[in-house]
Structure 1
Amino acid sequence: MANSEELPLNLYRTMRLIRAFEERCLEMSLTGEIVGGIHPYIGQEAVAAGVCSQLRPQDVITSTHRGHGHVLARGADPARMLAEICGKTTGLNLGRGGSMHAADVSLGILGANGIVGAGAPIAVGAAWAGRQSGREVVAAAFFGDGALSQGVVLEAFNLAAVWSLPVVFVCENNGYSTTLPVDQALAGDAVSRAAGFGMTSMAVDGMDAEEVAARTAEAVDACRRGAGPVFLECRTYRFFGHHSFEQQMTLNYREEAEVAGWRERDPLELQRTRLPREAVEAVDAEIARTIDAAVDFARSSEAPDPADALAHLYADGTTGRPGTV
């Protein structure tokens, strides 16, 4: 967690890293270097940067199918993250997690998750386990607006509130559940729904990294004081489609004017205006070198050996039940 003087530039650095990383991933997915495509986080960088800036090394996060930004903001190595997405053995998870399941437990990253809302109960479990073992652990659970109607998320709210667990529930409301507008998918509103569980709940400008950081600081402080879970609805927007495949499809669920309007509130550009030009240019150059090095690392790394396909499936080292292989 950076001090207040370092925070503005560090927030920009994190967002710049995420943006450059995602732009390169988009390019590589469209050329086929990244098989299966990605869910771009472009436009939502302020949420990951702001939340993770307020966490301590012992804290943990759970992520989503749109999780590259969270993983990078928590401090994962961009080179190993890209290698993971490319399915290489040097990846964070030996190339087996891919884009939607990257994890680094050493950094408190308990995993991105391809199941909508599935990270919420994992975060609750981690917070409970921390308390049981006498460790001061705050868990931050990221999920989208579409997860607010998933039963497991509501169950996680309930359990965290009943047990007064130190969990910050971070809803990234980007306005759409894939292509369905949130006002057609969600009865009531996100903050009221979470407040119904008796936890502190608030809406946040998810395009302003400094506001996200400030509200997260309040939430984390409440968790550490034993005040129970906190819900943050970060109102944000993804500049690209739900998935990179939308670049090759014709989907007309968003008006061009709507996208353009949100782009006028680009979180990177907002943060850029708060910083000296020389500092911004230095960060931009630094991140460009980092991304180029990550691409070189991923491209030069080895692909997994098919003979090892059944390795690393079980904690005890078992490769499969007798008679199955």
Structure 2
Amino acid sequence: MKHNFGAGPCILPQEVFEEAARAVVNFNDTGLSILEISHRSKEFEAVMAETERLVRELLAVPHGHSILFLQGGASTQFAMVPMNLLPPGGKAAYLDTGTWASKAIKEAKKIGDVSVVASSSDANYTYIPKGYEVPGDAAYFHYTSNNTIFGTEVFETPQSPVPVVSDMSSDILSRRINVADFGLIYAGAQKNMGPAGVTLVIVKDELLGKTGRTLPAIFDYQPHIAAGSMYNTPPVFSIYVSMLNLRWLKAKGGVDVIEQENIIKARTLYDEIDRNPLFRGTAAPEDRSRMNVTFVTENKEHEAPFLELAKERGLVGLKGHRSVGGFRASIYNALSITGVNALVDAMQEFEEQNK
């Protein structure tokens, strides 16, 4: 049995894979594959409607917020956000907490003025900055809620006098949030929502159309809203599999239930990291991510042997990002406590071997 700790594209529930596989051959008894069905067909329109309905239900998205399913990943949103929310001559505020936050900052600077309110780059992004102030004259404040590479997470929505924008690519649907606190949320699907290829955007309608910019339609949220995420051909298969995964999450009891499971999984793994003398966590304890657990061996020479043992035990995707090394266990929604326990067992076995 394989336990997939990959950071993304990542694990999805087995029943989702099985249903998606059937649809690749014959979608809903249409005699057509989901890969070839028209996005204008009534069958796919029903998929789109259900996917939006499930997102709205699971996240309690309030009236006045539109839900979009776009392409281009979170990286496209790095540019679309300032294009749509930052007026010429205006300023946007950003919190720098890791690689993806810094990339978002870099892209926003191509559109307009950016104020970086705080950064944890001084400690290789191993903590979340505290005590910063968001300028009241900013058009919006942007932060990345979970940092996949460095293993930190922001659990409380930052206080801000201006609309809050968050990249939630790696922790969306893993815990309860109050969507009303945000002007815009965006998230690549390939962590907790579905496969790579679709990006979720939740935006407060009243924020749009106020910058005075004339944008290419493909980079303007409003045409996408008007067309129901079908301004151009949508990523049909990715949306369909996301729908299946959202069904699975709803059947489990929703976000509140999965949040408690995620707390238990993270606590189990962090407890072993803190107990085992061969390993050490890299993120500040108060900012440790529940989604991406980063750790290293105390002895660098143990790194390769542990990865080999993990491979033998069916634990895949544990090697840390190339920029930081060590290990990264991504424990997204679909990874069960069984997988976490298998990793803990391997760590304890490695400890016994190296006494």
Q: TM-score normalised to the size of structure 1? A: 0.29
Structure having the higher strand fraction is 2
- Higher helix fraction: Structure 1 or Structure 2? 1
Structure with the greater alpha carbon radius of gyration: 2
TM-score in terms of structure 2 length? 0.27
